[in-house]
Structure 1
């Protein structure tokens, strides 16, 4: 084991406040209870990961017993410390601690680990289990969420704290494993947070030298200490089983923190297991009945299943009184603050309630936007107006704000030592940006929008998926949304991305046709209690008179009729984004030939799919002629709307590098080409 790695004078000072033998005995009982509950729950389920709970029991006992400032009886208290288990496979460790410390989780819930509809699923899930701050499991993302939560608290500190009132001063703690360290996203978010010197973030690295596939030496040899020091973090090393060393490092951190902290805690995975400790055999499989018995005997634990030490329950019962008092004192201070600063309190309420101005639709419709205009520029104009009336709105970009048009011009950029801005420069870290944005919205008071080119959504996809699973309100501001971005060529031209994003449950993917639909896309995103992805053009588009309809008759339906057939429909044209104008032009030529034509704009298939049957039939039911979809992406998903015999005007290959007008000709997105296809 590596001993505590600090300056001697600090170590000596910390030791002056050493733990008493009685307290260490109680913490040991808590750690023992964690081990018993975790081993038994995994064994009962015959599924799970016992290694981390056995190896991190002392860390958990100390963290929940001595460090975290929260109130388990009100897990949504605004100024609570937050804990994120990035190594989500070790979920029974967290569930054991939530149960012991008094969250709304029972012993019966522990016994139902990994069972259908239980409060203790295989990996922690946001909203399913009281006290779980974010959904984790896909490694590396939990630390990203933790960075976002910590950054969000810093933003709220800057906005609301006054000299005599600390409304926000909470910290975020995160437990990482070797897998988190190996995933590239952890590097992105750790570099980002080090650059900003986010000083309310503490990450604990469970350095047990074992991953699922075997010894970590086979795949990972980073010098983690030097790596994190290069990011600008303060790094400590401790024996993760030694309460004195754990106590000493947290004593130092609590004295004052000026940057993010990483605690490298050297542990033994599966500690106590005679035949599996320190090996990958204990990482992701139950111990087995015989090894479970041997492990309890080796650790001196009772053999009784799901035994909990009475001293552990008594400790947390007494601690809960202090925690409830802590929140009460904060509430008293908050009331005084609200009376002293009524304007700030009004902003606080707006942010807490996710305020949307009552007359927003009319205000957006009245917003003058020139025509023609690129979708990205139209959205930029909307952002400026929204920022004036919605204090919860914070923007950011992955090094592309001058191209994706996400900058809120009236506010500065968040920077080291200054968190008063409302623009966040994430650098070229798309995946990290998406995980941080999820953490920002998990503060319950920030609505983030983040920008990059649509083709780079691939880097972000798993974070978007988790945000969709959690139904988090994040807005993905994707631009350069088709082959018509032009000369940058096929590496930057999205082809399959519309279909890929539409495939994610709970994500609203919106591809607006013009400035009118961009305005209403923002309305849709603000109204929706889940994530939204905008797909915005680089090229200028005319503002169409046909799209100037009330929200509830247009964007709010997901699809709507732009142009009604003048006689029985021979053709129904369905289009999205920049191809809507093209569909209208095609309809004009068809009408000159005496054809009846219906034109439908379908900016969001997910919203349309949620409409009642009568409305869907009013657009696509009955004999409406030959159905044609027009969209500059793959046709995957379109035959749901145009039928097996419908014609999809689509991309069947990657794009090319050329001016967008030439690309339209090359790939058949012109009126003559489409007429030739469908007649």
Structure 2
């Protein structure tokens, strides 16, 4: 073995050769090498911090990975996933060496980026940088809200922390700024961000694009700032993490100066970031870090260090639960239902009553239905990106420091963070969260909505001002392609109700659906309450016929349903027998059998009518009256007429289409 000449950045703490840290380092780099794909640099650098966090500070129990009062750890830089997988294995979670050897192979319990539900101990799916930080804010906020709702003085059954590890790339993402700003505003004292500042990104030194004073930024957000100058010095790591746990009245940012790829020939080099080290470099790394064991061989001493005889606190917590049940049976029963059993959104609520013909925007109907549901469903919480008065989503009182007792979360103008924080609240458990904004701004939050769908979270996304009919705000605020984009996303159900009654049914459906997010797309303008929706229920959301017709079937959603009915009357006067079918959700229609779809839509030519992109409709219809360009600024009626969405124009378009068949 060669003499160890490398100075490791001038940090020669003897802890750099610690068997526990190195066991994690080499599980990570060996798995990356076996896969010939992955990110070895961060695991080499951060292994000591993760070792100390998991064995000395994190409140968790590998035998009870879903313990409701466990501390949450989030790896925001999900590319460094072997750092987490290795720690979970070493700590005793149900993740074997064989699982680690299948890293990045399909199927595997160790995918390239951590995925919730696939690996025990993984709290959230973190892929795009920054999502994990915002998820962690949601987890920490949910803990504070749950503590307010469920704790009794003598038996605090909710009392845990949230830790998130991120890097320079995360810090460059706007979502991190959005989420951290809100975390500081809400004074989430049980949130600690561990920032690995190694001055390296995939393309090279971070100074190519990033030289800001992160500490100053976070001081402005209201965080406490702590520093670790040598991540291999256990005494310094322990003292700093202990100080983070003692912080009161503000969240904490721990800035850690590390050396990416430490011990390898690519020490402090971007080449260690995103590729296997290679056989020669890996041998050199073993020599430098004095690791004599073959790949995937962990000495007993390392396992012993990773699994100390340390009380997780789980047994004491179960006693607290017994005390809580005796002290406040009602509060305990709610905790048991919502947190322990995960029974969310199952309580029936009274749908608001609406009169035929009344002009009610579906956003207003949404507000009435949502508040009716919330009155009997205390787990419903959420808010808007500073447009609550427009999305009609106000429920109760504001969630804010120091009590967190309300149900309205004021996210501010932070659409992306709003959605990712909502994901964190849902992942925490005990709450059924919603987020709301104008539909065109769904583009600002779509990456987080996509992750909500990947995780199959029980979340509700409320989008109002749904079409060119919003009028004067013009092209920048008029959605055209957004419906097609959401409908193309696997796992989500998109509902665009035609009237107030369909809206109430959509709310009931969304609250009851627990295997993925639901998006409600709602009108700004008033829409007539249709006589044909009197007997609607949630099964009708896959489509229901409002008017029979043998010559043609107009298939429409949202505000275009009443338009289609008016056009059908004009067509009837001209001798064309037109039927009308409302299809609030194409996803639910797709779930029906072909025979059921054919029975609903009929054998006559089918023409979709929707003031949006036609993309995606041709699976169900023969022709589409839609939008193939952006809208324009003007009063609603002028804009609709300009783009062919008046009853007479739709009637003419239908006849033209039929004439060409």
Q: CA deviation at 1:523?
A: 1.6
Q: CA deviation at 1:421?
A: 0.6
Distance in structure 2 (CA, Å) of the matches to 1:575 and 1:356: 29
SS at 1:258's partner residue?
coil
SS at 2:620's partner residue?
helix
CA displacement, residues 74-93 of structure 1 (integer Å, 9 cap, x when unaligned):
11111000000001000000
Residues 1:545 and 2:531 aligned together: yes
Residues 1:158 and 2:148 aligned together: yes
Q: CA deviation at 1:369?
A: 10
Distance in structure 2 (CA, Å) of the matches to 1:302 and 1:546: 76
Moved more, 588-597 or 42-51: 588-597
Residues 1:638 and 2:617 aligned together: yes
Assess if the C-alpha contact under 8 Å between 1:27 and 1:312 holds in 2.
Answer: no
Q: CA deviation at 1:2?
A: 11
Residues 1:300 and 2:290 aligned together: yes
Residues 1:578 and 2:559 aligned together: yes
SS at 1:658's partner residue?
coil
Could you say if the C-alpha distance between residues 327 and 667 of structure 1 is closer, same or farther in structure 2, counting changes exceeding 3 Å? same
Residues 1:673 and 2:632 aligned together: no
Aligned mate of 2:389, from 387, 402, 406: 402
Distance in structure 2 (CA, Å) of the matches to 1:133 and 1:87: 14
1:530 alignment counterpart: 516
CA displacement, residues 420-455 of structure 1 (integer Å, 9 cap, x when unaligned):
010000110000100000000011111111111000
1:13 alignment counterpart: none
Distance in structure 1 (CA, Å) of the matches to 2:92 and 2:429: 22
Assess if the C-alpha contact under 8 Å between 2:357 and 2:530 holds in 1.
Answer: no
2:422 alignment counterpart: 437
2:314 alignment counterpart: 327
SS at 1:194's partner residue?
helix
Residues 1:559 and 2:543 aligned together: yes
Residues 1:255 and 2:252 aligned together: no
Residues 1:236 and 2:236 aligned together: no
Moved more, 387-396 or 302-311: 302-311
Assess if the C-alpha contact under 8 Å between 1:172 and 1:200 holds in 2.
Answer: yes
2:47 alignment counterpart: 57
Could you say if the C-alpha distance between residues 370 and 46 of structure 1 is closer, same or farther in structure 2, counting changes exceeding 3 Å? same
Assess if the C-alpha contact under 8 Å between 1:270 and 1:277 holds in 2.
Answer: yes
Could you say if the C-alpha distance between residues 386 and 605 of structure 1 is closer, same or farther in structure 2, counting changes exceeding 3 Å? same
When normalised by structure 1's length, the TM-score is 0.92
What is the 5 A alignment of 1:59-138?
59-138=49-128
CA displacement, residues 488-547 of structure 1 (integer Å, 9 cap, x when unaligned):
111111011100111111011110000011001112212222101111100011110112
1:456 alignment counterpart: 441
Distance in structure 2 (CA, Å) of the matches to 1:216 and 1:279: 11
Distance in structure 1 (CA, Å) of the matches to 2:563 and 2:76: 47
CA displacement, residues 102-158 of structure 1 (integer Å, 9 cap, x when unaligned):
111111001110011110000000110000000012000100000000000000011
Residues 1:610 and 2:595 aligned together: no
Assess if the C-alpha contact under 8 Å between 1:139 and 1:179 holds in 2.
Answer: yes
Distance in structure 1 (CA, Å) of the matches to 2:336 and 2:470: 41
4+ aligned runs moved over 6 Å, structure 1: 1-4, 24-27, 367-370
Distance in structure 2 (CA, Å) of the matches to 1:249 and 1:583: 65
Distance in structure 1 (CA, Å) of the matches to 2:576 and 2:482: 34
Q: CA deviation at 1:25?
A: 6.7
Assess if the C-alpha contact under 8 Å between 1:270 and 1:278 holds in 2.
Answer: yes
Q: CA deviation at 1:562?
A: 1.8
Residues 1:336 and 2:326 aligned together: no
Residues 1:182 and 2:167 aligned together: no
Distance in structure 2 (CA, Å) of the matches to 1:126 and 1:655: 40
Distance in structure 1 (CA, Å) of the matches to 2:372 and 2:188: 30
Q: CA deviation at 1:416?
A: 2.6
Gaps of 5+ in 1: 5-20
Aligned mate of 2:628, from 652, 656, 663: 652
Assess if the C-alpha contact under 8 Å between 1:347 and 1:391 holds in 2.
Answer: no
Residues 1:45 and 2:35 aligned together: yes
RMSD: 1.9
Assess if the C-alpha contact under 8 Å between 2:356 and 2:530 holds in 1.
Answer: no
Moved more, 232-241 or 123-132: 232-241
Distance in structure 1 (CA, Å) of the matches to 2:153 and 2:359: 49
Could you say if the C-alpha distance between residues 175 and 359 of structure 1 is closer, same or farther in structure 2, counting changes exceeding 3 Å? closer
Q: CA deviation at 1:612?
A: 2.1
Assess if the C-alpha contact under 8 Å between 1:26 and 1:315 holds in 2.
Answer: no
Distance in structure 2 (CA, Å) of the matches to 1:300 and 1:395: 52
Q: Tell me the matched-pair count.
A: 643
Aligned mate of 1:590, from 562, 571, 575: 571
SS at 1:402's partner residue?
helix
Distance in structure 1 (CA, Å) of the matches to 2:112 and 2:127: 9
When normalised by structure 2's length, the TM-score is 0.94
Could you say if the C-alpha distance between residues 377 and 129 of structure 1 is closer, same or farther in structure 2, counting changes exceeding 3 Å? same
Assess if the C-alpha contact under 8 Å between 1:235 and 1:261 holds in 2.
Answer: yes
Assess if the C-alpha contact under 8 Å between 1:36 and 1:308 holds in 2.
Answer: no
